[in-house]
Structure 1
Amino acid sequence: MEKSKERRVINNNNGGVGAKAMAMKRRMRGLKKKLREFSSLCDVDTLMIAYNRSKGEVIDTWPENQLDLNRVISRCVSVDKAERDKRGINLVDHNNGGRCEDDMKNVIYGGDEKKLREMVSSLNNKLDKVKKLADSRSEKDRLQNIVPYNDNAVVNDGVPPAYYCHGEPVQSIKASCQAWSSSTNNPNLVLQPEPSFIESMVPETVMPCDDPLWEELRDYVVGVVIGIVVGVGREGAHKHTNGRESGMANGMKAVDTLCSTTQYKEACMNTLGPAASNNSITPKDLVHIAIKTTLVEVRKVIEKSGPIGNTPNMNSTHKMAFQDCQKLFDYAVDELQASMSMVGDSDLHTMDDRIVELKNWLSAVISYYETCLDGLEAHPEMKSAMQNGMVNATQLTSNALAIASEISSILKSFNIDINLPNPNSRKLLAAEDGFPSWFSVADRRLLARHAAGQRVTPNVVVALDGSGQYKSINAALKAYPKNHKGRFVIYVKAGVYRENVLIEKDLPNIFMYGDGPRKSIITGKRSNTGGYPTFQTATFAVVAPGFIAKAMGFSNTAGPQGHQAVALRSQSDMSAYFNCRMDGYQDTLYAQTHRQFYRNCVISGTVDFIFGDGSTLIQNCLIIVRKPMDSQQNTVTAHGRTDKNEPTGIVIQNCRIVPEQKLFPDRLKIPTYLGRPWKKFSRTVIMESTLGDFIQPDGWMPWAGTFALDTLYYAEFGNRGPGSGTNRRVKWRGYRVIDRREALQFTADPFIQGKTWLRYTGAPYMLGFKR
């Protein structure tokens, strides 16, 4: 993981082409701001369609909202076909990128930053002049000059002309307007504007073909078309509004409100905008559409990613990584289907009860995308192809998560009464007796007996000496009955089981217990240097929900030279591990996704040995830092949160972090840190724990340069021991020493909804603080 993660960070530093692309995006936003201001100032519609000639696609539009864009376009193309053909105007084709190259261009995308800064500065100066000019006019004169009229030229319903270049520059905007006046007999489309105002207003706001600035920079253009649509007013037809239009307005309000919470607003508007025409649409319907559209995109990724598996120069590791991607996408489909079903089964007043589950599932989907790309790190061509194919799915999933995260406030904004659930009584997660909703009556009784210390009768027994039904854990898993309901109990007798185990998604609610973490041991030695992607190095991996392990050992013996070598990988939701042991070096415990609880366990390793993107609470455990390879440094955690709305994180509570015996003599020479940020929004909390004297005074280690230092969330609360001092800790924006009130959110109940399920796992636990 260490090397591949470093490469990933370097690729995310936005250097080279990335920096240029970011600069261009900023310039695009700048132009949109100008268009918005012009629209507001002059009470007109503005239109922009940016077309990338090299990619052959539309890269941006104004208005961003597809419905508004289509409305403006429909007003423009209301000219009859003969007239459009005569003038070469077809904005519908422009929307598809058909004629953009031949039309008026503006310098937004492409070109060097100095010239673009000069352009933006020029536009700012010109806009100030325009505002002063507009302010100096009376309201009557201003409105008349925006849409001048006389007895022979009447503008009806604000239908405009647009100004074009058509392959060669026109002499002036004035000439373009006069050409329109003389070329049509349709009185509804005739404009004879006052030249002084048009020449002072329009050229000062958007660059016509004869603008010197345009001439200077035209060689840098990558195809942008801008049209200015001038009318009596943008909403001139509102006086004739009917019920359907009112419904559309309400629908658009819902869409605007939902999309305002998202990171990818344009993708959100394109997804939800078409539904706004339904005057009975509700916020719940829009959430459902957001998730359903995401599901469609993931299925497209699965369908279209097949050829990537035939990329040249693939070795066995690359092929395995590609197979992992296919499996991860299948997991994503499952999570999205569950999310969609949950929203569909809810009503608006109970939506908030489901948000915890919705965020949990959507966060897992985001993690699956990232895990796929992590595995392809060693083959840049494959990774790039996969990443490009995942853009829509990634953006839509992030948007769905953002909407879910803000749904309470969104529903309130529509005056919808919702009863916020008490965090100690999640209705969805538990029945009245507190068991998870999928537990049968027999299951509840079984775990209640187990929690009381009574002996549990196993469904199957595994024993190397043949005293059980099976000699291997994999054989025992094959005995799991099809469509089994309730808890399936596996007793693993003492022995060292040399096998790699995967508990797939169709084997839920397994309870596996052994004779002790040093007696019943599952061991393997797969590693990254041995030719396996990190995802496949796990000795023991569990996907199915509701997994419980007690008194078991999980080990990876690849050693420090194996680099990434996972002992336990868990993506099991509501899984619990107690009195267990996870031993390895780099990447020992891969807490990949979902809610996980570890109690009275031993976890050992060197580099990033507790990592992943799960909501992981490690309580009352012994964390042993081992001696690494020469030139390596120890880092206990490396959390992988990539979206700020994910509720995930690593919480270490009331644990002891100590050096192993082999490290002890050199513990002050070999640096050991509490963690480093694997991903942009990495979140780790160390609280009420004992930290040995070998923890570095600055506490936390950067990943690469300044990556994630402003966006991570690293916190410490109430720790003790010689390594717990915070006076010399890092000064990053994302690091903090938190108080009891802020730390409360990372205790078992609010963080992993522990009250609803932990008491019936048989594990001891604390819902709140130790002290």
Structure 2
Amino acid sequence: MERKLVTVAVDGSAEFTTLTAAAAAQDPAQPLHFVLGAGTYYERPFLELADYIITGAGMGQTVISAGAAGRDPWPGEARTGTFRSQTLFLGGGSARLEHLTVENTAGDGADRGQALAVYADASRVCMVDVSLHGNQDTLFTAPLPLAVRQKNGFRGPRENTPRLDTKQYYRDCEISGNIDFIFGGANAVFDHCRIVPVAHRGVTSYIAAASTPQGKPGYLFADCTVQGNSPAGSVYLGRPWRQYARVYWLDCDLSDEIIPLGWDNWSDPANEETVHFGEYGSKGPGAPKASPARAGYAALNDEASAQEMRAMLAEFRADFGAEA
């Protein structure tokens, strides 16, 4: 089926003025290409489409913006919760975003709680030249964990649905936040991305909080840079949202914001026996050569692990090559 072009512009010069209206007017089975003009779109699009591309005028030029947060009230309930706070929901089959920004402006999580910029739940997600801005829980890479730890903790669009694998690829993107700002159970590669820790009142930050299902690949950060405005020695590379979390950093440039220990066990030493954390070829002031006290349960410059991660990177690049 031929891909349909749909134009959107906030100034009224296109077919639609919001992405929400543009998507609602389409056949969800039709392959779609939404082209968004420059400007700020104050909306919270919820997309459940078979195959769609969203193209903006440039990172920082086309901005999808909202400020919902987990501590906001929700009709009939005390709080919105994490998984109803997103600015943009990507569901369906295949979602590609390029040349735009998605932000959640709720602010410091100490005040507003978790606040997603993107809830990425499509079977395949590809982002190229996209910036995602937030504080706590900026990017959720579905699926959810199998079991909830806190009552009603998964309130949202996928609370009672099967936990289906997703495959996600981020290339030349910028992702900012502080507390667990890249999290979830996806198999995901972050390739040549800029990871930006944002200073906050709580000081300590965590980049990746994976909930990888047992035996799945998890997260790979490859050729990325970490540089933000957080204090030196205040940012962890990751911690396990669930016990089988897998996170690997390959050939990345790390600022002095990285805590020498590198990794956190989420206050549970038992996680150290089941997680798969590691890094290889790190450079910069936050690299292990300048920080010898890395956590002992994480692989460090292990050749076999590095080869496995390079194979994963090559497979994702090949799979998403036509899209990226």
Q: TM-score range by the shorter chain?
A: 0.7 to 0.9
Report what 2:55 is aligned to. Answer: 513
Residues 277-301 of structure 1, C-alpha deviations (whole Å, 9 max, x = no match): xxxxxxxxxxxxxxxxxxxxxxxxx
Q: Which amino acid aligns with 2:175?
A: I
Report what 1:644 is aligned to. Answer: 214
Report what 1:656 is aligned to. Answer: 225
> How do 1:297-336 residues align onto structure 2 when only pairs under 5 Å count?
none
The answer to whether residue 68 in structure 2 is matched with residue 526 in structure 1 is: yes
Q: Which amino acid aligns with 2:293?
A: R
Report what 1:754 is aligned to. Answer: 316
8 Å Cα contact 2:237/2:263 also seen in 1 = yes
Report what 1:89 is aligned to. Answer: none
Following superposition, the deviation at residue 478 of structure 1 comes to: 1.3
SS in 2 for 1:708: helix
Following superposition, the deviation at residue 555 of structure 1 comes to: 0.3
Structure 2 residue runs of 5 or longer lacking an equivalent are 73-78, 144-165
The 1:700/1:482 distance shift into structure 2, 3 A limit, reads: closer
Residues 137-171 of structure 1, C-alpha deviations (whole Å, 9 max, x = no match): xxxxxxxxxxxxxxxxxxxxxxxxxxxxxxxxxxx
The answer to whether residue 144 in structure 2 is matched with residue 572 in structure 1 is: no
The 1:493/1:736 distance shift into structure 2, 3 A limit, reads: same
The 1:701/1:755 distance shift into structure 2, 3 A limit, reads: closer
SS in 2 for 1:728: coil
Q: Distance in 2 between matches of 1:716 and 1:659?
A: 20
8 Å Cα contact 1:595/1:752 also seen in 2 = no
The answer to whether residue 183 in structure 2 is matched with residue 611 in structure 1 is: yes
The 1:587/1:752 distance shift into structure 2, 3 A limit, reads: farther
Q: Distance in 2 between matches of 1:753 and 1:673?
A: 27
Q: Which amino acid aligns with 1:652?
A: F
Following superposition, the deviation at residue 755 of structure 1 comes to: 5.4
Following superposition, the deviation at residue 742 of structure 1 comes to: 2.3
SS in 1 for 2:240: coil
Sequence identity (%)? 25
Which of 74, 85, 91 aligns to 1:537? It is 85
Report what 1:590 is aligned to. Answer: 140
Following superposition, the deviation at residue 483 of structure 1 comes to: 3.7
Q: Which amino acid aligns with 1:691?
A: L
Report what 1:701 is aligned to. Answer: 264
SS in 1 for 2:305: helix
Report what 2:20 is aligned to. Answer: 474
SS in 1 for 2:58: coil
8 Å Cα contact 1:686/1:717 also seen in 2 = yes
Q: Distance in 2 between matches of 1:520 and 1:672?
A: 30
8 Å Cα contact 1:576/1:596 also seen in 2 = yes
The answer to whether residue 5 in structure 2 is matched with residue 459 in structure 1 is: yes
Following superposition, the deviation at residue 676 of structure 1 comes to: 1.0
Which of 230, 251, 271 aligns to 1:688? It is 251
Q: Which amino acid aligns with 1:654?
A: D
SS in 2 for 1:477: helix
Greater RCO (Cα-Cα under 8 Å, separation 6 or more)? 2
The 1:496/1:736 distance shift into structure 2, 3 A limit, reads: same
Residues 190-231 of structure 1, C-alpha deviations (whole Å, 9 max, x = no match): xxxxxxxxxxxxxxxxxxxxxxxxxxxxxxxxxxxxxxxxxx
Following superposition, the deviation at residue 493 of structure 1 comes to: 0.6
8 Å Cα contact 1:615/1:752 also seen in 2 = no
Following superposition, the deviation at residue 703 of structure 1 comes to: 0.6
SS in 2 for 1:585: coil
Which of 272, 287, 293 aligns to 1:728? It is 293
Report what 1:624 is aligned to. Answer: 196
SS in 1 for 2:46: strand
SS in 2 for 1:659: coil
Q: Distance in 2 between matches of 1:587 and 1:482?
A: 28
Task: Supply the RMSD in Å over aligned alpha carbons.
Answer: 1.8
The answer to whether residue 204 in structure 2 is matched with residue 633 in structure 1 is: yes
Report what 1:717 is aligned to. Answer: 280
Q: Distance in 1 between matches of 2:26 and 2:87?
A: 20
Relative to its length, the structure with more helix (as a share) is 1
Report what 2:153 is aligned to. Answer: none
Following superposition, the deviation at residue 752 of structure 1 comes to: 8.5
Residues 716-769 of structure 1, C-alpha deviations (whole Å, 9 max, x = no match): 11111111116310123xx1114344223324x6469435531211x2xxxxxx
8 Å Cα contact 1:526/1:538 also seen in 2 = yes
Q: Which amino acid aligns with 1:626?
A: V
Report what 1:559 is aligned to. Answer: 107
> How do 1:339-350 residues align onto structure 2 when only pairs under 5 Å count?
none
Residues 619-661 of structure 1, C-alpha deviations (whole Å, 9 max, x = no match): 10111111112x34111110012x423x14111110100123x
Q: Distance in 2 between matches of 1:515 and 1:677?
A: 36
SS in 2 for 1:616: strand
> How do 1:183-202 residues align onto structure 2 when only pairs under 5 Å count?
none
Residues 71-117 of structure 1, C-alpha deviations (whole Å, 9 max, x = no match): xxxxxxxxxxxxxxxxxxxxxxxxxxxxxxxxxxxxxxxxxxxxxxx
Q: Which amino acid aligns with 2:211?
A: G
The answer to whether residue 27 in structure 2 is matched with residue 493 in structure 1 is: no
Residues 659-705 of structure 1, C-alpha deviations (whole Å, 9 max, x = no match): 23xx3xxx12x621111111111110011000011211111122113
Residues 513-551 of structure 1, C-alpha deviations (whole Å, 9 max, x = no match): 000120111111111111212111110011112111100
Residues 364-419 of structure 1, C-alpha deviations (whole Å, 9 max, x = no match): xxxxxxxxxxxxxxxxxxxxxxxxxxxxxxxxxxxxxxxxxxxxxxxxxxxxxxxx
Q: Distance in 2 between matches of 1:621 and 1:750?
A: 16
Q: Which amino acid aligns with 2:57?
A: D
Q: Distance in 2 between matches of 1:744 and 1:468?
A: 48
Q: Which amino acid aligns with 1:673?
A: Y
> How do 1:87-486 residues align onto structure 2 when only pairs under 5 Å count?
442=2, 459-481=5-27, 483-484=29-30
Q: Distance in 2 between matches of 1:482 and 1:741?
A: 44
Q: Distance in 2 between matches of 1:540 and 1:722?
A: 35
> How do 1:17-28 residues align onto structure 2 when only pairs under 5 Å count?
none
Q: Distance in 1 between matches of 2:286 and 2:14?
A: 47
Q: Which amino acid aligns with 2:319?
A: W
SS in 2 for 1:552: strand
Q: Which amino acid aligns with 1:575?
A: V
The 1:742/1:731 distance shift into structure 2, 3 A limit, reads: closer
8 Å Cα contact 1:574/1:757 also seen in 2 = no
SS in 1 for 2:273: coil
Q: Distance in 2 between matches of 1:652 and 1:494?
A: 30
8 Å Cα contact 2:189/2:316 also seen in 1 = no
Q: Which amino acid aligns with 2:316?
A: G
TM-score when normalising by structure 1: 0.37
SS in 2 for 1:510: strand
8 Å Cα contact 1:607/1:635 also seen in 2 = yes
Q: Which amino acid aligns with 1:636?
A: I
The 1:580/1:699 distance shift into structure 2, 3 A limit, reads: same
SS in 2 for 1:459: strand
SS in 2 for 1:611: strand
Following superposition, the deviation at residue 564 of structure 1 comes to: 0.6
